[in-house]
């Protein structure tokens, strides 16, 4: 085997392996010294970098590994990601709205308002980066408190929480009225939604 062939053999072995392989193992199989393996691997690696190829050869201690070039990581993710995460469900929107309007909130607080356990949905929102933990409440049990994130503002297309639509003031007659009409609006919307889904 000449050096060119050794390079190709190393490339083939590392490709099929996918994971780091000790140079000594390759040396054994090809009947050459560890140093020769590292030399050829170095040449291969330089060639990848110099030609701005889509793959890179990394050396970690005695081991060698092929990996995709980091320059193309965005293209890779976009080509290979299965599907976008789903849009927010109605429960998720509810929890998010409670977090947004009453932040900072504890999970127990959200549960209390919604009347159902919201831990799963809170988890989803945390994972999606729409809410974040921002400390512990200074009461018994020291529960975590949550607030909305920068990403939340971007998602809603606003630059500040103050741009959220105003809630009616609690307690006043005026607010009862407002609340009443909003409730009507929500119900009408729900009925509309249902009929759309049924079609």
Partner 1 sequence: MKMKNPTFHLEGIVKSSDEMQDFTGPLTLILMLLSKNKIEIRDLKISEILDQYLEHISKMQEMDLDIASEFVQMASHLVYIKTRTLLSGDEEVSELEELMSSLEQIRCHDAYMSIKAVTEELSRMSQQGLLMFSKEPEPLKTFDSGEYRYSHQPQELINALFSVFSKNTSSGQETPSMPKRIIYGVRQKSSQLIELLRNSSSIPLRELYEISRSRSELIATFISVLELCSHGSISLYSNGGEMSVTLIGEPPEDFTEETFSE
Of residues 55 through 114, those in contact with partner 1 by CB under 8 A are 56, 58, 65-70, 73, 76-77, 80-82, 84-88, 90, 93-94, 96-98, 100-106, 109, 112-114
Rounded CA-CA distance 141/176 in Å is: 35
2 binds, among partner 1, a second copy, none (CB under 5 to 8 A by kind): none
Looking from the CA of 52 toward its CB, the CA atoms found within 13 Å total 2
Q: 37 in the Ramachandran plot: left (φ > 0), alpha (ψ -120 to 50) or beta?
A: alpha
Q: How far is the CB of 115 from partner 1 (least distance, A)?
A: 6
Binding interface with a second copy (CB under 8 A): 4-5, 7-18, 21, 25-26, 28-30, 51-55, 66-69, 71-72, 75-76, 78-80, 82
Neighbours of 40 (CB within 10 A): 24
Of residues 130 through 159, those in contact with partner 1 by CB under 8 A are 130, 134-139, 145, 147, 151, 154-158
53 binds, among partner 1, a second copy, none (CB under 5 to 8 A by kind): a second copy
Of residues 161 through 180, those in contact with partner 1 by CB under 8 A are 163-165, 167-172, 175-176, 178-180
Q: How far is the CB of 66 from a second copy (least distance, A)?
A: 7
Q: Are 23 and 63 in contact (CB under 8 A)?
A: yes
Residues 16-55: x where in contact with partner 1 by CB under 8 A, - otherwise, as a string? xxxx------------------------------------
Three-state SS across 71-132? HHHHHHHHHHCCCCCCCCCHHHHHHHHHHHHHCCEEHHHHHHHHCCCCHHHHHHHHHCCCEE
What is the side-by-side order of every strand in the sheet holding 55-60?
Answer: 21-22, 63-68, 55-60
Q: Are 102 and 134 in contact (CB under 8 A)?
A: no
Q: How far is the CB of 67 from a second copy (least distance, A)?
A: 8
């Amino acid at each position: 085997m000449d050096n060119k062939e050794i390079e190709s053999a190393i490339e083939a072995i590392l490709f099929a392996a996918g994971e780091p392989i000790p140079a000594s193992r390759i040396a054994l199989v090809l009947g050459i010294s560890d140093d020769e393996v590292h030399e050829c691997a170095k040449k291969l690696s330089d060639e990848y970098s110099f030609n701005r190829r889509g793959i890179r050869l990394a050396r970690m201690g005695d081991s060698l590994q092929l990996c995709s070039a980091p320059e193309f990581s965005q293209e890779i993710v976009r080509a290979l990601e299965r599907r976008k995460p789903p849009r927010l469900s109605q429960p998720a929107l509810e929890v998010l709205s409670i977090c947004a309007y009453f932040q900072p909130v504890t999970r127990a607080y959200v549960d209390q308002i919604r009347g159902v356990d919201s831990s799963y949905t809170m988890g989803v929102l945390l994972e999606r980066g729409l809410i974040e933990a921002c400390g512990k409440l200074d009461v018994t049990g020291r529960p975590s408190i949550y607030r909305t994130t920068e990403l939340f503002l971007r998602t809603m297309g606003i630059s500040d929480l103050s741009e959220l639509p105003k809630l009616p003031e609690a307690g006043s007659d005026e607010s009862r009225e407002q609340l009443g009409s909003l409730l009507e609006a929500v119900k009408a919307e729900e009925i509309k939604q249902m009929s759309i889904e049924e079609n």
